[in-house]
Amino acid sequence: MREMWKKTTRLIKAEDSNYLDSNTTVIGIWWILWIVSNYIGNYVLKSIFKEQTIETLMSSTIADMVMSILGIPLAIVTVTIIKNYSSKEEKISSLEKQESI
């Protein structure tokens, strides 16, 4: 995603030197949340197949709750990235239309 973001920004800046780019910190945050969420999800999945005791059920339930809570900011950050990248694609499209005129 970061590579696409940077290449798209370069394409836009080649045509519009006044273009201000939003920084890529949000991509790093998204990546960290995604990795942590998947790690916890793998833990929950593996704990299901272990011997079922009250302790393992409680720890997997807590991990599942944490994963669900992490899913909220992960979804918000994902939507933010998609909106920002979509606006970049719209900008490229408008620049291409201006070029062809």
| Token pair recorded at residue 66 | 């944490």
- Please name the amino acid found at residue 4: M
Per-residue model confidence as pLDDT tens digits over 17-67: 788 777 788 899 999 999 999 999 998 888 878 878 888 888 888 999 999
How far is 49 from 59, CA to CA, in rounded Å?
13
Q: Where are the domains of the chain?
A: 26-84
The values of phi and psi at residue 21, to 5°, are -95, 140
pTM as predicted: 0.77
